[in-house]
Structure 1
Amino acid sequence: MGQAKAKRALGFTDADVRRWEADDCVNFAIALARRTEWLLHVDWLTPNGRKEREAGDEAEMVPLRVYVGDDSSTVFDARGITSIWEFSPKTVARLAKERSQPTWRQPGVTTRTYAEDRLWSLPLRRAPDIAEIDHATKVIDAHPTFPQRIPPRATPTFPAKFAANYQWGFCAMFAEAFEDLTGEAATAFCIDEMDDGWASGEVGAGGYVHSFVPHADGTATDSWGRQSTARIAERFGALRWHEDRELHLRVVARLRGNSPERYAERYEAAREMLVAHGFGAASKP
């Protein structure tokens, strides 16, 4: 196979990539997210420190790139499939340098995830365009290998933004709702040893990072569906881990005590989603 054919087999033409990058890949990303059901991401450049980056208004930020990502660290971008560790310095850092303002003292990049409908109202450099989304869809569908290299979502398949929300913050509510509907006991997923690349990840007391519902066959269910425990461990950079039912119950008690209304709201939303996907409708007293 010649060099041009080999490049084509892995990626898209230079003309298509330039076309998509002219709008920060928003139309490509929407087309790909529709096809794969994976999660839409936007990387933003902000003039503020970490706390402001996490809570700031997008109107005060500069959009850098729109892309699709899986439930772990893989990025599906117009320039190919790569890890976030390669994508961030190679693509995002370059864009941040180009678009940074000289008056900004502490510029930084923040990543936010969205459902598709939210992208249409974000202050992106260019709004999504129906015709461009259609074009990207046709190019993606016609590619000989790119779509096939993207792994399918696990089942049950919940909306990607819902799954992301209930992975990073509301996992205990999802696990409790699943337990109440199915009778299968939820537990805490705790890290004993973490990969160096994830060293900045937040780990709670006892190594707690997540709650899910384990099954006898070595799989577990959380908002991203039913997968092997080893696959879930990859999301958190866990090299060694253990499960702790009592710790999960303590986490639930703390969440209920700290914010009963917030807990109830998130629990009910998870329960409704599970019922809509065919899980039992009766909860425990």
Structure 2
Amino acid sequence: MKRRRFLQIVGAAALCGTGARAATWQGRALGAEAGITLRGGALPKETLAHIRAELARIEAVFSLHQPSELTQLNATGRAAVSPALRAVLDEALMVHEATDGAFDPSVQPVWAALAAGRAPAALRHRLHDIKIGHDIRLAAGQALTLNGIAQGYATDRIAALLASAGYRDCLINIGEFAALGGDFRLGIEDPEAGILGQITLRAGRAVATSAPGALRFTDGQGHILGPDGQRPRWSSVTVEARTAMRADAASTGFVLMERPAIERAKARLGLGPVRLVDAEGGLVTL
């Protein structure tokens, strides 16, 4: 299975305002391209070191490709509850409920089977079956993937780190986008239809795009899976929200949902505009 990287939201689009010089840092985090655009100067080495250290801590919680809290939880069915893992699971459960179960990180056993070229078994347990107390316990045979929410969490964490250090006018992209202190124009791109237009991401807001075609299994199936075998209904979904974590999780679940259900979940979660691109390249904004 080969990963194709689509830049669904083009951070290189023109910045709002004129005459503002910007410096950009680029790297990788949680398996995706990452970057920070700062107007009016560059990030000093000390700040970059803090960013890299924070990203390393986040990887140590959520990575599925190296030892982490999540890999331990999936292997043993039990793990200690770190603040980061609790925050993401609490948000995941909220979005799970608001999307009537469409967003469900417990699809990991299905995902792993398809990635290995095997026919997956039906899921026996869902996200709401996990037990969270002093530790986290999974049901027998249950495993989680937090790829549909952890990039949003990482984006929010780096935005908070920069804000606490006094930085303003930043565009943070750790897989999803957040605007700090200023407004930024971003181009919306769909993997199949191409660039569809631009939006203005206001200061203090975040945006995330989910697209099944960004990664496909060897049989051609998109990587966003439903717990009941749902197939994607949209080529891509772009969601604006107060936090990147919520935008990330909602966009993942919305890919699998009909428009009326998306409208209900949008209201429940207090989201901003939701942009849906269908298989023919048609764009609908809710």
TM-score (norm. length: structure 2): 0.27
Higher-Rg member (1/2): 1
Larger proportion of helix: 1
Greater relative contact order (Cα < 8 A, sep 6+): 2
TM-score (norm 1): 0.27
